[in-house]
Chains A and B, each alone.
Chain A
Amino acid sequence: MKQKKKVLRGYAHKFGDDINTDYIISGRYKFKTLNSRELAKHLLEDIDPDFNKRKASGDLIVAGENFGCGSSREQAPLAIKYAGIVAVLAKSFARIFYRNAINIGLPIVQTNTEKIESGDELEIDLASGEVHVIKNNLCLKAEPFPSFILDIIEVGGLIEYFKKYGGWKIR
């Protein structure tokens, strides 16, 4: 089983509120293939055509409220993950995206992102839920996950969870 890195360090790419899953990965691409690496090339293309060139592996997406709203497409967190983005930070997440990200093992951090700017270097301690903005030593506290969800996160997603427990742990 893959052991997840608990402390992440990367550079922020800042986006606004209500970034929907159509923007994250357009329907033009997502219906055609199950190849997430292929989809990753078109990440956020419709609202930020240069994003793919600008971003580097290990970077972070930072957004406002309701990140991942709209369609249920799991291709959205998959495209983010396979683009090399190591975590998404947002003030709030749309509910299906929230579930999908946890299920596929993409780290998400719910915290007040207002003071983070594009280009900021951040250090995220996933275990303690602390986000440090390196340039000004600002420390942000993330919303903790309920223990039921932590169990899914800790094994790396719902597929691993089902493999490990053979179904739901409780009941």
Chain B
Amino acid sequence: MGKTIAEKILSSHAGEDVRAGNIVVCNLDFAFAQDGTAPLAIKAFDKMGQKRVFDTQKIAFFIDHNAPSPSSDVSSLHRLMRDFARKHRIRLYDVGEGICHQLVVEEGWVGAGDLVVGADSHTCTYGALNVFSTGVGSTDLAAAMASGKLWFGVPGTIKIFFKGKLLPGVYAKDLALYLTGKLGARGALYKSVELGGEVIKDLSIEARFTLSNMIMEVGAKAGVMLGDEKTEKWLAERSKRKIRFVEPDEDARYDKVLEFDVSRLVPQVARPHSVDNVVSVHEVEGTSIEEAFLGTCTNGRLEDLRIAGKILKDKKVHPEVRFMVAPASRRVYLDSMKEGILEIFIEAGAVLLPPGCGCCVGTHQGVPSRGENVISSANRNFKGRMGNPEAFIYLASPATVAASAIRGKITDPRRYL
């Protein structure tokens, strides 16, 4: 019997032949934490009595969730991270460099077939590069930093094919929201998901990240894609490592195989307060919004900013809307500046935030007030997520966010194509 991608990557990193259902200790290729999780990981590392990290070249820290710091308390935790990074000679990406998930792929930290853990749930993002990557908590990360290994339950796999061709105005985010609505918040609990089909092949690598990123929202452990010439190009441009894609065997055993024809898919929106509460845009069109947010590890990349910029060109953000834009990294910031996209945003009346998680996690930079509606390109709309449990968050593609910012109400972006 053949193996899935998950079984192959976990087998090669365990040094033994493992199958779904086994529990194994595996060698890790890369491990990281961000400012919401690193401080506790440092504490756990010290409590474990560990003196040094397993490999200074395979660990990194990122200050992205509260960057720059909004309070003295947060500043102390940032300092704890900086001190640890200096002492153990590991790379720390400081305030303004960008979101961990963007920097990990941009800076070539991961390669095809790698096994990666990050103390952030959206670590699954790199699945788009044929990496088996998954989120863990702080104590797991401490153990990973100390030993270079972690235990894994080898997951069963769900294979998903997307058939057809996306209509204009419909993007990877709509696909991700559609899938989340179809499967539900626990539709792939503990599972690895192999994402494939002609629709995926047509997507850029940046768009593929959006889809792998959101696989977390159906409870999955990883959302892995096959490598192709686009993946190869992306990896070759960012890392010198030899590229060896991992493919599933033809006779691999799957828990489920699902196929979705998305030829007629229209823009999707997740309504408050859960990511799987998904409807077609026309069902919520006209809902007034007071805040719009473009950014995050889901949709803060150059391609996303381009799409929104095209819609906002020579237009104004509605006077009763606060429109926040946070590029995912310094590179995205610079590139979009050079392309004139940031100018479009600023002239339209947007507020430009520094590279980082922006207002997604509700600690700073745009907390909505009571009763307000927000449309956001993020991946979560839980009650209180953006810092106020009495606000309402709708999730959508960058195009839908931009179109809605112009009209002050949820808008089908195809009006602006």
The residue on A at minimum CB distance from B388 is A28
Cα A23 to Cα B380 in complex, Å, equals 12
Q: How large is the interface on B (under 10, 10 to 19, 20 to 34, 35 or more residues)?
A: 35 or more
Cα A45 to Cα B388 in complex, Å, equals 12
Cα A99 to Cα B221 in complex, Å, equals 12
Would you call B137 and A27 a contact (CB within 8 A)? no
The residue on B at minimum CB distance from A18 is B185
Candidate in B50, B151, B221, B363 with the most chain A CB atoms within 10 angstroms: B151
**B161 CB → nearest A CB, Å:** 24
Would you call B137 and A96 a contact (CB within 8 A)? yes
Q: Would you list which residues of chain B between 175 and 217 have a CB under 8 Å from chain A? A: 185-186, 189-190
A138 in contact (CB, < 8 A):
no
B384 in contact (CB, < 8 A):
yes
B25 in contact (CB, < 8 A):
yes
Q: Would you list which residues of chain A between 1 and 57 have a CB under 8 Å from chain B? A: 17-18, 20, 22-23, 26-28, 30-34, 45-47
Interface string of B363-382 (1 = CB under 8 A from A): 10000000000000000101
Would you call A47 and B140 a contact (CB within 8 A)? no
Q: Which residues on the A side are within 8 Å of B383 (C-beta)?
A: 22-23, 46-47
The residue on A at minimum CB distance from B120 is A72
**A112 CB → nearest B CB, Å:** 15
The residue on B at minimum CB distance from A76 is B137
Q: Would you list which residues of chain B between 127 and 178 have a CB under 8 Å from chain A? A: 135-140, 142-143, 146-147, 149, 151, 153
Cα A62 to Cα B66 in complex, Å, equals 33
Q: Would you list which residues of chain B between 334 and 372 have a CB under 8 Å from chain A? A: 361-363
Q: A65-B186, A95-B189, A168-B149 are in contact. Are A70 and B382 (CB under 8 A)?
A: yes
Q: Which residues on the B side are within 8 Å of A163 (C-beta)?
A: 47-49
Residue from the list B137, B146, B221 in contact with A103, Cβ < 8 A: B137
**A2 CB → nearest B CB, Å:** 13
**A65 CB → nearest B CB, Å:** 6
Would you call B25 and A168 a contact (CB within 8 A)? yes
Interface size on A, residues (CB 8 A): 46
Cα A171 to Cα B362 in complex, Å, equals 42
Q: Which residues on the A side are within 8 Å of B138 (C-beta)?
A: 74, 100
Candidate in B14, B71, B136, B380 with the most chain A CB atoms within 10 angstroms: B136
Cα A45 to Cα B389 in complex, Å, equals 9
Q: A22-B380, A26-B362 are in contact. Are A148 and B190 (CB under 8 A)?
A: no
Q: Would you list which residues of chain A between 53 and 89 have a CB under 8 Å from chain B? A: 65-66, 69-75, 78
Would you call A66 and B135 a contact (CB within 8 A)? no
Q: Would you list which residues of chain B between 1 and 47 have a CB under 8 Å from chain A? A: 14-15, 23, 25, 35-37, 39-40, 43-44, 47
The residue on B at minimum CB distance from A169 is B25
Residue from the list A34, A45, A94, A146 in contact with B39, Cβ < 8 A: A34
Would you call B23 and A148 a contact (CB within 8 A)? yes
B96 in contact (CB, < 8 A):
no
Cα A65 to Cα B219 in complex, Å, equals 11
Return the 5 tightest CB-CB contacts between A and B, nearest first.
Answer: A100-B137, A46-B384, A74-B137, A103-B139, A66-B186
Besides A31-B74, A95-B190, A158-B139, 8 more A-B contacts (Cβ < 8 Å) are A47-B389, A70-B380, A70-B382, A71-B120, A71-B380, A74-B138, A104-B139, A171-B25
A contacts, CB < 8 Å to B:
17-18, 20, 22-23, 26-28, 30-34, 45-47, 65-66, 69-75, 78, 92, 94-96, 99-100, 103-104, 146, 148-149, 157-159, 162-163, 167-168, 170-171
Selected A-B contacts with CB under 8 Å, 12 pairs: A22-B383, A27-B36, A27-B384, A46-B383, A72-B119, A78-B40, A92-B186, A92-B189, A158-B48, A158-B140, A159-B44, A159-B47
